[in-house]
């Protein structure tokens, strides 16, 4: 790591080792609520991450008993209409930045993932939760609605009925229930969370770099365009895979019964 992230950031912590970056939301006194500074620091880190070619996977987690307990209600409470709109658009932009990173992003959900926190997990590629994690979109309890694309990503991930049920009741659900409805991909004991997520990240980091980037792009982008266009996109990326050297080595290694040397 050639930058001193610890000196630069007040609300997030960055650890980088062995091709894996871990971003830890770190405002435990406010259960890691998202304020303007947090968004600024996340965005700045994502910019710098895009320059670090060796990083293969990003993990996002929270310090203390919370992943993220939502947007910062103290900051929002004095906002007018214009400021609320700007806060929403800024957050959406940062989450889109995160979602569109070339590398995979895993949410390691250690505790409360409420409101903007649940929306943050949904901007990651998938979610691994501790049994202590809790999920929900409680905005209607505050007379608000989600503002970081939660209304859109939730229904795409768990279906319209499940999404509207969570959004309208503001129910806070357990990790097991989140797993049952497809919001999280795995639930593990709290003390195992980071080990499991690191193992997963390392497993992905050992695959072909280009193949992982391409499968992320085609799957994500294809999800939001008509099926026929998405299939054409897939075919074109499949075809391009043959020219990048990686697939040559991958197939050769299979035929020679050895591990690929990417
Ligand atoms: N914002 C600011 N501070 C918070 C937040 C938050 N979202 N959540 C918790 N805190 C603070 C508490 O105020 C408290 O501070 P203090 O010690 O100074 O009183 C501290 O964190 C610890 O919290 P609690 O004492 O409440 O801890 P508990 O374990 O008793 O309860 C809960 C934990 C259940 C998570 C509870 O804190 C809670 O309900 N928090 C709010 C959850 C919520 O409603 N989140 C949604 C917020 S709205 C949102 O995210 C909208 C996103 C889109 C915005 C679009 C832009 C406009």
Reported residue count of the chain is: 262
Residue 130 in this model has a pLDDT that exceeds 70: yes
Residue 2 in this model has a pLDDT that exceeds 60: no
**pLDDT class for 201, splitting at 50, 70, 90?**
very high
Query: 155 C-alpha to center of ligand 1: Å?
Result: 24
Instruction: Give the three-state DSSP class for 51.
Output: helix
CATH fold of the domain at 3-205: 2-enoyl-CoA Hydratase; Chain A, domain 1 (3.90.226)
**Computed from CA positions of residues 78, 80, 86, 89, in that sequence, does the dihedral angle turn out positive or negative?**
positive
Residue 148 in this model has a pLDDT that exceeds 80: yes
Cβ atoms of 220 and 237 within 8 Å: the answer is no
Confidence at residue 249, expressed as pLDDT on a 0 to 100 scale: 95
What beta strand segments (E) does the chain contain? 12-17, 20-25, 57-62, 66-68, 105-109, 112-114, 126-130, 134-136, 173-174, 186-188
Q: Give me the percent of the chain exceeding a pLDDT of 90.
A: 94
In whole numbers, what is the pLDDT of the chain averaged over residues? 96
Whole-model pTM over 0.95: yes
Indicate the pairing of strand 105-109 with strand 12-17. unpaired
CA-nearest of 158, 157, 163 to 137 is: 163
Active site residue 139: yes
CB atoms within 10 A of CB 78: 7
Active site residue 256: no
Residue of 29, 63, 75, 119 with catalytic role: 119
Confidence at residue 243, expressed as pLDDT on a 0 to 100 scale: 83
Mean pLDDT of all residues in 164-170: 98
User: Does the beta carbon of 208 lie inside 6 Å of ligand 1?
Assistant: no
Atom of ligand 1 nearest to the CA of 137: 46
The b-or-e profile of 43-63 (16+ CB within 10 A means b, else e) is eebbeebeeeeebbbbbbbbb
Atom of ligand 1 nearest to the CA of 117: 50
- DSSP letters of 109-124? E-SEEETHHHHHHHHS
Dist. CA 108–CA 126, nearest whole Å? 9
**Which residues, other chains included, contact 3 with Cβ-Cβ below 8 Å and sequence gap of 6+?**
48
Cβ atoms of 117 and 100 within 8 Å: the answer is no
Which one-letter DSSP state was computed for residue 139?
G
Confidence at residue 244, expressed as pLDDT on a 0 to 100 scale: 84
- Residue 127 in tokens: 């979610």
Mean pLDDT of all residues in 137-152: 98
Question: CA–CA distance from 118 to each of 21, 65, 76, 169, 202 (Å)?
Answer: 21, 15, 17, 15, 25
Atom of ligand 1 nearest to the CA of 65: 29
């Amino acid at each position: 790591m050639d930058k001193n992230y610890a000196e630069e950031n007040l609300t997030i912590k960055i650890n980088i080792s062995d091709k894996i970056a871990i971003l830890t939301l770190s405002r435990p006194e406010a259960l890691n609520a998202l304020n303007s500074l947090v968004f600024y620091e996340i965005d700045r880190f994502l910019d710098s991450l895009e320059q670090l070619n060796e990083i293969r996977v990003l993990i996002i987690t929270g310090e203390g008993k919370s992943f993220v307990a939502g947007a910062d209600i103290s900051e929002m409470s004095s906002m007018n209409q214009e400021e609320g709109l700007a806060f929403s658009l800024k957050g959406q932009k940062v989450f889109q930045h995160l979602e569109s990173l070339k590398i995979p992003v895993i949410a390691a959900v250690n505790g409360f993932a409420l409101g903007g926190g649940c929306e943050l997990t949904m901007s990651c590629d998938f979610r691994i939760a501790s049994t202590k994690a809790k999920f929900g979109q409680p905005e209607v309890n505050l007379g608000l609605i989600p503002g970081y694309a939660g209304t859109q990503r939730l229904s795409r991930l768990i279906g319209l009925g499940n999404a509207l049920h969570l959004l309208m009741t503001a129910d806070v659900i357990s990790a097991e229930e989140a797993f049952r409805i497809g919001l999280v991909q795995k639930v593990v004991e709290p003390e195992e969370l980071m080990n499991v997520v690191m193992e997963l990240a390392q497993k992905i980091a050992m695959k072909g770099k280009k193949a992982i980037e391409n499968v992320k792009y085609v799957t994500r982008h294809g999800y939001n365009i008509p099926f026929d266009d998405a299939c054409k996109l897939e075919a074109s990326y499949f075809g391009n895979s043959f020219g990048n050297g990686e697939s040559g080595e991958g197939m050769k290694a299979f035929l020679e019964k050895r591990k690929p040397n990417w």
